[in-house]
């Protein structure tokens, strides 16, 4: 029934709207004029910031600069990683929203990776491991591809171009001197994941109810958008976290394949955020939450700070590409704090799981409609 129903909707939209995106035309346009793609140029330029971080760590390792000077250089480098692409997107009119989201996502990942790269090397120096002490991989790693190949790199022998670029492309945000490695590339597994990788709803009609403040029609459009929006989110989740990251890990023989846990069984909002995106969760725990706890900050304050940081990056990845600042994503993320308290306090078991799913299915379409409405009003309202 689901297949037949969705096949009917697919044919109906194909007949009504046709093919809205032609990938062949997009590729041919890029080949004819690659310089008209500033987002791609931004991604290429990101290489400079990675090399700057590596060069700084090399100088710190040999003692040619002090820790304070190194910290200042790293701070400036990390701040530039966030500010530079945002300024380019806001000032260059030819940057499209899709290209801007792609470029800013790459820079955000680079920021998190280099932040971890700086911390781990700093910890090595602080612990006196500059000569012969090996750093073990993080405990509890999944052996998804047979036995992991033991490897041993000592600080500062890890400060090489090969090590840096392996980390930049590896499907992790947390740096290690010795990553878990798989002994071989499984071709059959790789082909299955590649096949899975090759596997927009129209919302212009939703603008009139928003303009007229027709609440019944707004709710109707919201409910109409909720299911396809969530289906797209689930497809993206599977494509990215299961297929794409596993392809990348297999090609790089990266041993840690724990990219997500059973978030669909979440009985609390907190459990969902801890398990749906493991690379980000590990980074927040290792480089943000635990350092704050060690400094005497309360758990509640540290958790709130993590949500604040997450809310900032969500808004950064939406408002800057759209070139408008409405804080819907920021407020949506901060709303998770009272929601987590309410669900944890009053709901248990299946009721808590239902509350998590409802917040996912309804919450995202609300944010989508808010941004689309504001973007539509700013860019198309009143235009001929």
> Annotated active-site positions, please?
314
Please state, in angstroms and as integers, the Cα–Cα distance from residue 113 to each residue in 19, 66, 155, following that order: 38, 22, 18
CB 148 within 8 A of CB 93: no
Two structure tokens written together for 203: 């919302």
For 265, other C-beta atoms within 10 Å of its C-beta total 11
> For residues 61 and 126, is the Cβ–Cβ distance under 8 A?
no
156 cis-preceded (ω within 30 degrees of 0): yes
Q: Both tokens of residue 266?
A: 């979440």
**Closest to 101 in 3D by CA, of 299, 316, 376:** 316
Please state, in angstroms and rounded to a whole number, the distance separating the CA atoms of residues 210 and 213.
5
CA 322 to CA 377: how far, in whole Å?
12
Contact 49, 75 (CB under 8 A): no
Q: What is the DSSP letter of 22?
A: -
Rg of the Cα atoms in the chain: 23
> Strand locations in 146-246, DSSP E?
none
Helix (H), strand (E) at residue 343 = helix 336-346
């Amino acid at each position: 029934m689901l297949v037949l129903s969705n096949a009917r909707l697919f044919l109906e939209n194909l007949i009504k709207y046709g093919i809205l995106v032609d990938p062949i035309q997009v590729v041919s346009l890029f080949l004819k004029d690659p310089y008209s793609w500033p987002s791609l140029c931004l991604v290429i330029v990101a290489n400079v910031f990675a090399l700057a971080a590596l060069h700084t760590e090399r100088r710190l390792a040999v003692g040619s600069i002090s820790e304070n000077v190194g910290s200042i250089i790293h701070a400036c480098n990390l701040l530039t990683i966030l500010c530079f692409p945002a300024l380019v997107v806001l000032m260059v009119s030819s940057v499209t929203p899709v290209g801007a989201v792609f470029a800013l996502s790459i820079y955000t990942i680079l920021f998190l990776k280099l932040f971890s790269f700086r911390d781990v090397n700093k910890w090595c120096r602080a612990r006196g491991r500059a000569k012969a002490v090996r750093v073990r991989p993080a405990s509890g790693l999944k052996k998804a591809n047979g036995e992991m190949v033991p490897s041993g790199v000592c600080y500062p022998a890890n400060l090489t171009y090969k090590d840096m670029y392996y980390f930049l492309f590896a499907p992790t945000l947390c740096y290690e001197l010795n990553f878990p490695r798989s002994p071989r590339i499984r071709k059959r597994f790789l082909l299955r994941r590649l096949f899975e990788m090759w596997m927009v709803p129209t919302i212009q009609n939703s603008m009139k109810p928003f303009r007229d403040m027709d609440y019944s029609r707004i709710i109707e459009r919201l409910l109409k958008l909720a299911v396809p929006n969530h289906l797209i989110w689930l497809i993206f989740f599977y494509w990215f976290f299961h297929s794409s990251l596993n392809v990348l890990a297999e090609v790089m023989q990266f041993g840690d394949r724990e990219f997500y846990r059973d978030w669909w069984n979440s009985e609390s909002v907190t459990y969902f955020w801890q398990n749906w995106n493991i690379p980000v969760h590990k980074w927040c725990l290792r480089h943000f939450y635990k350092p704050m706890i060690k400094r005497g900050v309360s758990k509640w304050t540290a958790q709130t700070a993590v949500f604040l940081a997450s809310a900032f990056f969500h808004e950064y990845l939406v408002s800057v590409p759209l070139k408008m600042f409405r804080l819907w994503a920021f407020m949506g993320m901060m709303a998770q704090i009272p929601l987590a308290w309410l669900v944890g306090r009053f709901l248990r078991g299946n009721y808590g799981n239902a509350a998590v799913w409802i917040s996912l299915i309804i919450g995202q379409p609300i944010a989508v409609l808010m941004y689309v409405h504001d973007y539509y009003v700013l860019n198309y309202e009143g235009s001929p």
